[in-house]
Structure 1
């Protein structure tokens, strides 16, 4: 299972450990991923995602899962999130 946020696309970053003697060795910064269940108000269902804590705050700040998925580009979303986004678009088209 890869260390990538399903909603924001945030993944690992590479940097250096720097010692007191200024020796540099490679290291990896991993995102803080959590398994969460988010509720879609439009579909009246809940979905499980593996989301970074920063991504979770962003989703809540932008008005919930439905608004986030509709505003976010497809290249950042996982296959699971894209499936939910297609269902949302279908539900919006049916209600309009």
Structure 2
């Protein structure tokens, strides 16, 4: 399973451990990923997504999953999140 946020695309970063003697060894900074169930208001369904805590705060700030996905760039979203976004857009189109 990839260590990548499904909504923001945030992934591991690389850097150095620096000791007191200034010795540098390579390390990875992993994103804080959580498995969360998010509810779509228009579809009336819950979706389990593996997202970072920063993304969860952004979803809450924007007012829910539907409004977050409406403003999200499609290049950052995972395949599952893209499917959810397309289904929400279909459901919101007036018939």
Q: TM-score, structure 1 length as denominator?
A: 0.96
Q: Which residue of 1 aligns with 2:35?
A: 35
Name the SS of the counterpart of 2:43 in structure 1. Answer: coil
Name the SS of the counterpart of 1:75 in structure 2. Answer: coil
Q: What is the alpha-carbon root mean square deviation over aligned residues?
A: 0.8
Q: Which residue of 2 aligns with 1:46?
A: 46
Name the SS of the counterpart of 1:57 in structure 2. Answer: helix
Please list, as runs of the form range in 1=range in 2, the aligned pairs for 1:10-21 lying within 5 A after superposition.
10-21=10-21
Moved over 3 A (4+): none
Q: Distance in 1 between matches of 2:4 and 2:53?
A: 12
Q: TM-score, structure 2 length as denominator?
A: 0.97
Q: Which residue of 1 aligns with 2:26?
A: 26
Aligned length: 95
Q: Which residue of 2 aligns with 1:62?
A: 62
Q: Which residue of 2 aligns with 1:90?
A: 90
Q: Which residue of 2 aligns with 1:73?
A: 73
What do residues 19-45 of structure 1 show as CA deviations (whole Å, max 9, x unaligned)? 000011100000011111000001111
Structure 2's unaligned 5+ residue stretches are none
Name the SS of the counterpart of 2:22 in structure 1. Answer: coil
